[in-house]
Amino acid sequence: MRNILYLVAVVLVITWALGFFAYSAGGLIHILLIIAVISILLGIIKRKGI
């Protein structure tokens, strides 16, 4: 499960980076970044068992 979570986070960060530099999609790109950051934080929290 943890590997899938990190994979989703990496894909979202890459999508955000491509969208940020190649396209001007506005708020959608920032929402993808926020979702990626939240996914990474959830993975860290679940790994530590908090």
pLDDT tens-digit series, residues 1-46: 567 888 888 888 888 777 766 666 566 767 778 888 888 888 888 8
Q: Following CA atoms 10, 29, 35, 9 in sequence, which dihedral angle do they give, to the nearest 10 degrees?
A: 0
The pair of three-digit structure tokens given for residue 46, joined into one six-digit string: 């679940």
Q: How far apart are CA 10 and CA 36, in angstroms?
A: 7
pTM of the model: 0.49
Confidence of residue 49 (pLDDT cuts 50, 70, 90): low
Burial class (CB in 10 A: 0-12, 13-18, 19+), 15: middle
Domain ranges of the chain: 2-48
pLDDT at 22: 65
With H, G, I as helix, E, B as strand and everything else as coil, classify residue 49.
coil
pLDDT at 32: 78
Q: Please report where in the chains the tokens 């491509």 appear, as a residue.
A: 18
pLDDT at 25: 58
